Structures are given as structure tokens and as C-alpha cells.
């Protein structure tokens, strides 16, 4: 019986596979095998034992079901794996788990899982950046009204909006590259971190294990890999999720009936509401915004796993079984959904143009003020002059253009053509197009 929505509703199967019980078990078996191999190289274990363990360390032989049977008897998950592997290896089992403590295996195997996961995460971020850059290029000159405080401000272009988001995704790509150095690490330090069971060969053995597994070794640790690493990674997932939340929130706002400048793609047979047949709801964007709350909450909870008692306790173990797989799976899911959202985004250019003129030209008030200042009118004086006319335009519901042309104080400095130019949104974009071009050049 499925309980968690991740099991049946959210997440790609190939990403969920990384964190399922069989993959988790295989990762632990890989670490155990790498340890015996390192022991053999260090002259502690026979080479043939290492070869035997390597042959048997597979979930085809050491099954999830058998491990669970043993755990039900002994109530220790790691020792259940050790015993199940030992059953398969017979006399070659002597050096299985030799010198290791549970979290040497558990934390290192988690790093192996995350190593697989970050490849999906990198691909997701790169694909989203590509889609956003494509929109930035395509809509570079699509002029729309900018909004501050939910009110119409001055014009900008959709290209600028998408280029800005692409840069944000690029920062996440850079953060991930940095975080990989700190999260894709393993340890083989034994009880409390002294490597005492390995005598003077502990560092050598640890380095060899990690070389086999393709991980970096910790420089120093106690009985667990320190949780600031995992907390940082989940903060990164939360940052990514909140960026997606921001992007999706903008789509939701722009899809409001009263605005309707962009909207999600809507399938021919798609149903928007169980009772209102006309509805076309932004369900993908809303799902992204909702799931971001879960990832953010998980990141906050992971911070609580940093301060453990002395050399370790178990308070991090139970929450991390939920927090880390859940945050990883949901972040990937949100990225996949966001990529689809922006690939299929619909632009309603007639509404974009309508909204651009909705304020009766008042969004061009700054443009007029700047033109007056360029003609020698003191900036504050120009501001007050245009402000008064803008307020009159609002209260009397008259186009600002008409009031400007009827004002002797304005026409004393600007002729009709200059007023027309100052009131043209396409002529008041500053460096918007150049900024988009720069982003496209640097990030493409």
C-alpha cells in the first residue's frame, strides 16, 4: 500500500530509483566491498577474500528481503547488511566491515547516492537555463509593463525577465559545482573517528576506499561525516526550489484573468475544475510553489542535525531517511515541471499591449520627467510638474498624453514630437536589450 505521494504522484522513476531500498543496499555493499579491497591492498586481508566479497556484494545475492529478515531479529540495520553479505561470502567474510563503524558505510553510501543524483540535478539546471535563454532571445523585444508593489511602473521587456532568471539558474549551477566538493565525500574512520582499528594504516585505507568509489575522503571526522555538509546541500536544494517558486509565482500572477499576459499550456482534453467547466488553472506553477514549501522545510530541519552529542548520536538518522531523499526527489520533480512549464508557456500579446496602455500613459511619466530635465528643467521641479499631471490623469481618467500637450509648462520645453517620443514605451527601454544580449553571449 502506497502512503507517501512520492510513491505514486511526484518524482521521476529514475531519480526515485537512486533512493529506493535496493539502490541504497547496493551502495552499502559497494562500500563494504571497497573496504575489503583496501584492506587487501594494505596487506591486512587476503586478496582472494576481497575478490570473493566483490563477487558477492550484489543485491542479486544479498537481497533487501533477507536483510530485512535479519534486521527484524537483531534490530540493527547495518549489522543486518553485514550478516547478509557474510552469509554469501562464507570463509571470505572475515574482513567484512573490519575496522568500520556503521556510519562509515551509511554516510559513504549516501554520498554514492548523491553522486548519482547530482548528475540529474546538473542536467535539470542546464536544461532550464537553456529554455530560459531561448525565451530571453525570442522575447527580447516584447515590451510589457513592469510592476512594482503590484502597480504599473515603467516598461521593460519579457526578454529581460527571462534573462534575469537564466542568470539566477546559472548561479545555482555554480553553487552546485562548489557544493559537490563538500558533499561527495566518504569516510572510513571507525568508532569516534580515530581509525584505531586500522592501526597506522587508517588514512591509507580510507584513501584507497574512496579512490575505488570515486569519492573524496574526509580530512578529519568523528564517527559520522559532519552534518554541515548535508545541511549546505539541502540549503542549495531549498534555494533552487525558491527560485522555481519565484518563477512560477510570476507566471501565476501574469495568468490572472485580469492580466492574462502569459499562461500555462492547456491540453485539448485537460480539465480545469470539477465544477467550473471554463477554468484553465495554472496547476503546474501552483504545484511547484506548493512543493517548494516542503523542500524549504526539509532544509530547515536538516540544520537541526548539525549539533549532535559528543562524537555522535542517532537524532540525525531518522529524519535524514526522510529529509534527504524527499528533498532530492521533489527538487528534481519541480525542475522537470518548470522546464515543461516554460517550454509550453503561451504569450497573449494582445493583452500585453492592452496592459501596457491601461494606465492612460502614466507609466511614461518618468520618461517625460527625464526629457524635461535634459532640457534644463530642475529635476525636482520636473518631477512635481509631471506628478501633478499624472494625478490629474488618474482622477479625471484622461490620457496623460493629452494633458501633457495641453500644458503650457510642458510645451514650453517639449514640442509635440518630443512628447510623442517620450510617451513611446519602445523608446524608453534603456539598456534592456543590451543587457539581454550580454546574458545570451555569456551564458549560451
Q: Which residues are catalytic?
A: 149, 273
Angle of helix 102-138 versus helix 21-41 axis, rounded to 10: 120
Nearest one of 430, 442, 440, 443 to 146, comparing CA atoms? 430
DSSP notation for 35-49 = HHHHHHHTTSS-HHH
Taking CA atoms, 218 is separated from 37, 186, 203, 430, in Å, by 19, 6, 10, 51
Q: Tell me the C-alpha to C-alpha distance, in Å, between residue 377 and each of 213, 310, 350, 363, 435.
A: 71, 70, 37, 20, 30
Block residue for cell numbers 584505531: 196
- Report the distance separating Cα 364 and Cα 424, nearest Å: 8
Task: Measure the CA–CA gap between 295 and 162, rounded to whole angstroms.
Answer: 24
How far apart CA 100 and CA 38 sit, in angstroms, is 12
Residue 313: CB atoms within 10 A of its CB come to 12
Instruction: Give alpha helix (H) positions in 304-377.
Output: 317-343, 349-356, 365-374
CA distance 167 to 174: 11
Q: What is the DSSP secondary structure assignment for residue 156, as one 8-state letter?
A: E
* Residues paired with 156 in a beta bridge: 144
| CA 111 centroid distance within chain | 19
Amino acid at each position: 500500500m502506497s502512503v507517501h505521494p512520492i510513491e505514486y504522484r511526484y518524482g521521476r522513476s529514475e531519480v526515485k530509483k537512486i533512493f529506493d531500498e535496493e539502490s541504497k543496499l547496493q551502495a552499502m555493499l559497494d562500500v563494504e566491498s571497497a573496504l575489503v579491497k583496501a584492506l587487501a591492498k594494505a596487506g591486512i586481508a587476503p586478496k582472494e577474500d576481497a575478490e570473493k566479497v566483490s563477487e558477492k556484494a550484489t543485491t542479486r545475492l544479498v537481497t533487501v528481503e533477507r536483510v530485512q529478515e535479519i534486521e527484524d531479529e537483531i534490530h540493527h540495520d547495518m549489522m543486518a547488511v553485514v550478516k547478509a553479505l557474510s552469509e554469501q561470502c562464507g570463509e571470505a567474510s572475515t574482513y567484512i566491515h573490519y575496522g568500520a563503524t556503521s556510519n562509515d558505510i551509511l554516510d559513504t553510501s549516501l554520498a554514492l547516492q548523491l553522486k548519482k543524483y547530482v548528475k540529474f540535478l546538473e542536467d535539470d539546471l542546464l536544461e532550464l537555463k537553456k529554455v530560459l535563454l531561448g525565451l530571453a532571445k525570442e522575447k527580447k523585444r516584447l515590451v510589457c509593463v513592469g510592476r512594482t508593489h503590484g502597480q504599473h511602473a515603467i516598461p521593460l521587456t519579457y526578454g529581460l525577465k527571462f534573462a534575469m532568471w537564466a542568470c539566477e539558474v546559472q548561479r545555482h549551477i555554480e553553487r552546485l559545482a562548489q557544493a559537490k566538493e563538500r558533499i561527495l565525500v566518504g569516510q572510513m574512520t571507525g568508532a569516534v573517528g580515530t581509525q584505531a582499528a586500522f592501526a597506522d594504516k587508517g588514512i591509507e585505507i580510507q584513501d584507497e576506499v574512496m579512490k575505488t568509489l570515486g569519492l573524496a575522503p574526509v580530512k578529519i571526522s568523528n564517527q559520522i561525516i559532519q552534518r554541515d555538509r548535508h545541511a549546505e546541500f539541502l540549503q542549495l536544494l531549498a534555494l533552487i526550489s525558491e527560485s522555481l517558486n519565484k518563477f512560477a509565482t510570476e507566471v501565476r500572477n501574469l495568468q490572472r484573468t485580469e492580466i492574462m499576459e502569459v499562461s500555462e499550456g492547456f491540453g485539448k482534453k485537460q480539465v480545469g475544475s470539477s465544477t467550473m467547466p471554463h477554468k484553465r488553472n495554472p496547476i503546474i506553477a501552483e504545484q511547484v510553489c506548493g512543493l517548494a514549501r516542503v523542500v524549504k522545510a526539509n532544509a530547515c530541519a536538516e540544520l537541526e542535525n548539525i549539533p549532535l552529542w559528543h562524537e555522535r548520536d542517532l537524532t540525525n538518522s531518522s529524519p535524514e531517511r526522510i529529509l534527504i531523499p524527499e528533498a532530492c526527489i521533489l527538487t528534481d520533480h519541480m525542475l522537470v515541471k518548470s522546464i515543461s512549464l516554460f517550454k509550453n508557456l503561451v504569450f497573449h500579446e494582445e493583452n500585453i499591449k492592452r496592459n501596457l496602455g491601461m494606465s492612460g500613459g502614466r507609466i511614461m511619466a518618468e520618461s517625460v520627467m527625464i526629457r524635461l530635465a535634459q532640457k534644463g528643467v530642475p529635476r525636482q521641479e520636473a518631477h512635481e510638474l509631471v506628478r501633478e499631471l499624472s494625478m490629474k490623469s488618474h482622477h479625471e481618467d484622461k490620457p496623460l498624453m493629452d494633458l501633457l500637450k495641453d500644458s503650457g509648462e510642458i510645451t514650453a520645453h517639449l514640442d509635440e514630437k518630443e512628447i510623442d517620443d517620450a510617451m513611446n514605451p519602445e523608446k524608453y527601454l534603456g539598456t534592456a536589450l543590451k543587457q539581454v544580449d550580454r546574458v545570451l553571449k555569456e551564458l549560451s
